[in-house]
Amino acid sequence: MKTKKHKDKILFTPGPLTTSQTVKQAMMRDLGSRDSEFIAIVQQIRRKLVELGQASPDEYTAVLMQGSGTFGLEAVVSSTVPPDGKMLIIINGAYGKRLAKIASVLKIDTITLEYPENTTPNLPEIEEMLNNDKEITNVSVVHCETTTGIINPIMEIGQHVAKSGATYFVDAMSSFGAVPLNLTECNIDYLVSSANKCIEGVPGFSFILCKLSSLKETAGYARSLSFDLLDQYLGFEKNGQFRFTPPTHTLVAFRQALEELEEEGGVNGRAERYRKNYETLVTGMRKMGFKEYLIPEHQGYIITSFLYPDDSNFSFEEFYESLNQKDYVIYPGKVSDANCFRIGNIGQIFEADIKALLATIRQTIAQMGVKLK
């Protein structure tokens, strides 16, 4: 039976992303979950992830978890908050709210500090909360809040958390691999990201970078068998294997993606390409008359939210579908107080792809009769 050929659309989304042909090709083989070659690949991936976090393997480890990024988040929340613990979640977007929802479902005692989606968290307020409420055992925040693309000050927050003695958990889903960070300097105990984000692998697993001293204190905390982070770690340390069936093809592809990240110059090299994508995008959109939702000081280079044009001829559904038919995929907005759409600058896309998207957007709004001010 012949395989039907098709053309891939270019994904200007927060993930899954456009991937290289070589990453796709890496999946074109079968490996057993107990195969020595596969076990070696898993060890290599875990070691490289700690390196990307600029951390020592004596201090940090990487635990791989089957499933999407949200599975990794739930693994940390369900496994690292003590039975009588209390969690503070700092929120300025939909993904911070998702963390709070996970904690609520798990019946964890939770408080939140919530800020507008176009505002970074108030550091003095966080410090005051931690000073006044000594029952807080765990603190969580999203690094790049994909709702808007805002970048939160994880290092400064980490300094306050460290002083309080609480455990610090960072959701770095959309930033890890493209925004440089040092786990130790940020005082991070747990960081979560996934295969299909800035490292440019394919969906299938998430990973958690864990401070070993913190992880080893969590025996008996787990509220789930599948999401038991400590048990998953102990399994890897015992025989190099997943406790349950691993996504073998995804992991082989991810190993290839890590090699390509290194060839590009590591995190700094990838950041440079993404930043150029962002600058090209924003410059071109502004020339057309589009406005960003965030002020430039708060905007990261991962994904950008644009306000709908103030023109009754504009329909996002029509706009989206027209671009989609031309093989350009953007993303709906998720902001609660404004009508927005989002364009991602990440994945295996380049400045030429951004310019082609801009030309197509210009053509599309002209066809729709939209006039931008």
Q: 263: which residues sit within 8 A by CB, 6+ positions away?
A: none
pLDDT at 71 over 80: yes
Q: Does residue 354 fall inside a structural domain?
A: yes
pLDDT at 122 over 60: yes
On whether both 329 and 255 belong to a single domain, the answer is no
Q: Which domain covers residue 29, as residue numbers?
A: 23-263
On whether both 163 and 76 belong to a single domain, the answer is yes
pLDDT confidence of residue 190: 98
> How far is Cα of residue 291 from the mean position of the Cα atoms in its chain?
24
Q: Does residue 11 fall inside a structural domain?
A: no
Q: What's the pLDDT band for 51 if we cut at 50, 70, 90?
A: very high
On whether both 225 and 335 belong to a single domain, the answer is no
Phi, psi values for residue 6, rounded to 5°: -150, 160
Q: Does residue 8 fall inside a structural domain?
A: no
What digits encode the pLDDT tens for the residues 338-355? 999 999 999 999 999 999
Phi, psi values for residue 145, rounded to 5°: -75, 105
Domain boundary among 228, 263, 298: 263
Q: Is the dihedral of CA 202, 206, 211, 213 positive or negative?
A: negative
pLDDT confidence of residue 2: 57
What's the domain count of the chain?
2
Q: What Rg, from alpha-carbon coordinates, does the chain have?
A: 21
Domain boundary among 243, 263, 283: 263
pLDDT at 1 over 70: no
CA distance 88 to 107: 14
On whether both 118 and 48 belong to a single domain, the answer is yes
Q: Does residue 360 fall inside a structural domain?
A: yes
On whether both 237 and 319 belong to a single domain, the answer is no
CATH (domain of 86): 3.40.640.10
- Contact between residue 346 and residue 18 where contact means Cβ atoms under 8 Å apart: no
Q: What is the mean pLDDT of residues 89-109?
A: 97
Burial class from Cβ neighbours inside 10 Å (0-12, 13-18, 19+) for residue 318 reads middle
Q: Does residue 17 fall inside a structural domain?
A: no
CATH (domain of 284): 3.90.1150.10
Structure tokens at 69: 């990024």
Supply the mean pLDDT for the chain: 96
- Contact between residue 208 and residue 66 where contact means Cβ atoms under 8 Å apart: no
pLDDT confidence of residue 323: 97
Q: Does residue 144 fall inside a structural domain?
A: yes
Token pair 């364009």 in the structure block, residue = 343
On whether both 255 and 270 belong to a single domain, the answer is no
On whether both 251 and 288 belong to a single domain, the answer is no
